[in-house]
């Protein structure tokens, strides 16, 4: 059989089994997407890169034929993307609580126009220096007594965000101190200990 003949037979088969092939292909695509999402995504990206012109042309035609449907599809895509982004952000926060708290501190420092900055490595070193204990009450940090970063001179009172102005305290000491100056806080603690 010649090559030409084989191609003819194939083409004829595709022609007469069009619907069946379409369904089979759709099922195959769905299965790959389910079982090997990474592979499917890579293939999608490669396909789009290779057929960019043709896909753009198709998109333009579709928009012309049914602008309302195109707008609706666009809106759905944006919504889906938004949900996906939110979900990713949520997951990231969950997986990287440390970075997340650091980012929150940076934002707060920025809001107060604080000078200086610090690194996670400096905070880690400080934690070692404090022996994993609260700088105020001396309690050992644990999951039920989680460490928090305290600004010795509060940001709201012009305190800096550099490591010299930071210490680790337990959450209850940190919130009790709030924005009191070191002196005010020392007085209150002295009174408390006397009682």
Residue from 105, 167, 173, 177 touching Zn ion (CB under 5 A): that is 173
Q: Tell me: does residue 123 bind Zn ion (CB under 5 A).
A: no
Least Å distance, CB 169 to Zn ion, is 5
Q: Tell me: does residue 161 bind Zn ion (CB under 5 A).
A: no
Residue 165 near residue 112 (C-beta atoms within 8 A): no
> How many Å apart are CA 149 and CA 105, to the nearest integer?
9
Q: How many residues bind Zn ion (CB under 5 A)?
A: 5
153, two tokens: 């001179």
Residue 126 near residue 168 (C-beta atoms within 8 A): yes
Q: Which stretch binds Zn ion (CB under 5 A): 41-49, 120-128, 162-170, 182-190?
A: 162-170
CA distances from 182 to 97, 126, 160, 179, 188 (A): 28, 18, 14, 9, 10
Least Å distance, CB 127 to Zn ion, is 14
Residue from 32, 69, 137, 186 touching Zn ion (CB under 5 A): that is 137
- Cβ-based burial of 173 (10 A; exposed 0-12, middle 13-18, buried ≥19): buried
Q: Decide whether 136 or 161 has the Cβ nearer to Zn ion.
A: 136
Residue from 105, 154, 170, 177 touching Zn ion (CB under 5 A): that is 170
Q: Decide whether 114 or 168 has the Cβ nearer to Zn ion.
A: 168
Q: Tell me: does residue 135 bind Zn ion (CB under 5 A).
A: no
Instruction: Point out which residues pair with 166 in neighbouring strands.
Output: 151
Task: Give me the residues that bind Zn ion (CB under 5 A), please.
Answer: 134, 136-137, 170, 173
């Amino acid at each position: 059989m010649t090559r030409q003949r084989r191609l003819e037979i194939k083409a004829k088969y595709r022609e007469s089994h069009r619907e069946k092939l379409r369904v089979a292909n759709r099922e195959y695509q769905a299965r790959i997407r389910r079982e090997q999402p990474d592979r499917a995504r890579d293939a999608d990206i490669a396909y789009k890169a290779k057929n960019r012109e043709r896909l753009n042309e198709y998109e333009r035609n579709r928009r012309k034929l049914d602008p309302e449907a195109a707008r609706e599809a666009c809106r759905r895509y944006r919504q889906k993307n938004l949900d996906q982004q939110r979900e990713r952000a949520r997951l990231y926060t969950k997986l990287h609580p440390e970075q997340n708290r650091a980012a929150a501190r940076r934002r707060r420092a920025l809001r107060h126009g604080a000078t200086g900055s610090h690194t996670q490595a400096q905070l880690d070193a400080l934690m070692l220096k404090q022996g994993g204990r609260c700088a105020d009450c001396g309690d050992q940090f644990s999951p039920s007594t989680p460490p928090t970063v305290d600004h010795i001179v509060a940001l709201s009172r012009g305190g800096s965000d550099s490591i010299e102005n930071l210490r680790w305290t337990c959450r209850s000491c940190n919130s009790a101190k709030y924005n009191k100056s070191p002196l005010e806080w020392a007085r209150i603690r002295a009174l408390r200990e006397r009682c």
